[in-house]
Amino acid sequence: MLTVQFRLQEVGAAMNASEEYGRSVQAADLEKQRVDLQTLLPNAQGAMLQKQKARIEQLDRQIRLARARKLIDSHFEMAAGETVVVGTSKIGSKTGGGDKGLVVLLTAVAAGAK
């Protein structure tokens, strides 16, 4: 029997609860900055318009990274040749809801098997 610890997370996900809190504060600040820039966008022209659009794109990337999360964290036992299904549902929105899910099939293969 194998004891398996399976973790799947988005790139940049927080490693602990205190980091998650700090990231949520950071994401809220970044989102406020984005809203402020978005309100200035209709009045911008030329080079300033391009700079503001580029900054909004940069903020979008930073927000996605700050909101990165753990998707699956599971542990179980399995034997060689056995397949285990792990998964999660309701992923895909900021609030943890949504209509998407994720399923992973893991098969234990004996060392040296072909």
Does pLDDT of 114 surpass 80? no
**How confident is the model over 82-106, as a mean pLDDT?**
80
> What percent of the chain is predicted at pLDDT more than 90?
51
pLDDT digits (tens, 9 = 90+) for 10-46: 888 888 878 888 888 999 999 999 999 999 999 989 9
pLDDT at 101: 86
pLDDT at 67: 85
pTM, entire model: 0.61
**Both tokens assigned to 76:** 């179980």
Does pLDDT of 3 surpass 60? yes
pLDDT digits (tens, 9 = 90+) for 100-112: 888 999 999 888 7
Domain edges within the chain: 2-107
Residue of higher predicted confidence among 93 and 66: 66
Residue of higher predicted confidence among 92 and 56: 56
| Cβ contact 75:3 at 8 Å | yes
Nearest CA among 105, 68, 76, 71 for reference residue 88:
71
**Both tokens assigned to 16:** 């602990």
